[in-house]
């Protein structure tokens, strides 16, 4: 795998590559026994992931902040697939209160939970604070998913134990995790306005996604839980995620067009890591173009991962008192 594979679309060791689509990587997979939560499943690659996993028979719960858009997305999928099993629940990842409410609402449905795809995110936004007073990109992209995952973990363990089916958690990160602040995660300046960089703050949050996956994977292995946790880079795709830097991205795309993917290709790695049988037992890895890929030095630092876990736990606890 390398730049040539990225441009050419040639498959890697998995048999898939940058040109593979979500339908191709999930071809012939029966997901009818699976219940999946997808955050941000109402648009972009989240919607394509929803559509394809529903096509494979999974019961998909779209977790979305914009309920109108989520219901429209559901109707769009059902219009082309009358058998699609889709529910919609409200979730604002920048609000711990909303995340807790979502968790209660999901558990009230009395459904199993096999797969959690932490897909939603924001990118390059101007400095702002979440409802809980945390820098918005860190709050939404990392802390919200960290808290959500913790709240749903017992349900995933129960499901895996009762069914014997391996649970899977997928964190959507980005190759942008390499472009972060000097020390990787600025624990002492997470919400500092004066030194804020929209690009580095995004990179920091995407680095946090990988570190979160790695540390959770380590803990679950230690515990003997039948759940894997991996992180993925979906590729560079022009979606609503780039609304804060639309024209910059348009100009960049003129010079880097060979590296960009369409939405079906962008959803491929998420679907591959979520349901492909070839990844049974594979955990704590980073994937790009449906193949395992080396992450940055920061991303593979176990001490940084532990520190982030403790910091995130303490932050969540402090914000709820």
**Catalytic residue (choose from 181, 196, 202, 272):** 196
Cβ pair 208, 171 in contact under 8 A? no
Q: Is 55 exposed, middle or buried (0-12, 13-18, 19+ CB in 10 A)?
A: middle
Q: Structure tokens of 38?
A: 């997808």
Q: Is the Cα torsion angle 201, 169, 61, 98 positive or negative in sign? A: negative
In 3D space, the residue among 253, 228, 207 whose CA is nearest the CA of residue 156 turns out to be 228
- List, in order, residues 6 or more apart from 125 with CB less than 8 Å away: 136, 137, 198, 244
Q: H or E segment at 118?
A: strand 115-118
Q: Structure tokens of 282?
A: 């594979």
Whether 196 sits among the annotated catalytic residues: the reply is: yes
DSSP annotation string for 185-201: S-TT-TT-STT--HHHH
Give 3-state DSSP helix, strand, coil % of the chain, rounded to 5.
50, 15, 35
The pairing of beta strand 167-172 with beta strand 35-39:
unpaired
Q: Is the Cα torsion angle 104, 156, 298, 292 positive or negative in sign? A: negative
DSSP annotation string for 301-320: -HHHHHHHHHHHHHHHHHHT
Catalytic residues: 196
């Amino acid at each position: 795998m390398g730049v040539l594979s990225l441009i050419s679309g040639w498959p890697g060791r998995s048999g898939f590559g940058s040109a593979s689509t979500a339908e191709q990587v999930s071809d012939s997979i029966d997901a009818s026994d699976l219940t999946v939560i997808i955050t941000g499943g109402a648009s972009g690659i989240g919607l394509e992931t929803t559509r394809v996993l529903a096509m494979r028979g999974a019961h998909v719960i779209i977790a979305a902040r914009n309920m109108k858009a989520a219901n429209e997305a559901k109707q769009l999928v059902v219009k082309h697939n009358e058998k699609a099993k889709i529910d919609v629940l409200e979730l604002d990842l920048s609000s711990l209160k909303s995340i807790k409410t979502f968790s209660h609402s999901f558990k009230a449905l009395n459904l199993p939970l096999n797969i959690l795809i932490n897909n939603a995110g924001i990118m390059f936004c101007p400095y702002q604070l979440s409802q809980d007073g945390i820098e918005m990109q860190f709050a939404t992209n990392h802390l919200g998913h960290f808290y959500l995952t913790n709240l749903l973990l017992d349900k995933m363990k129960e499901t895996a134990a009762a069914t014997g089916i391996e649970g899977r958690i997928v964190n959507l990160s980005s190759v942008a995790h390499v472009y972060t602040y000097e020390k990787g995660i600025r624990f002492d300046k997470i919400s500092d306005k004066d030194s804020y960089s929209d690009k580095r703050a995004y990179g920091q949050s995407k680095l946090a996604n990988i570190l979160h996956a790695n540390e959770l994977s380590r803990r679950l292995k230690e515990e003997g839980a039948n759940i894997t946790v991996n992180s993925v880079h979906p590729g560079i795709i022009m979606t609503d995620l780039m609304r804060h830097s639309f024209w910059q991205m348009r100009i960049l795309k003129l010079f880097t067009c060979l590296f960009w993917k369409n939405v079906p290709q962008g959803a491929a790695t998420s679907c591959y890591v979520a349901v492909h049988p070839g990844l049974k037992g594979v955990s704590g890895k980073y994937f790009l173009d449906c193949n395992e890929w080396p992450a940055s030095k920061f991303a593979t630092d176990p001490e940084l991962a532990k520190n982030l876990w403790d910091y995130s736990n303490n932050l969540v606890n402090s914000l709820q008192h």
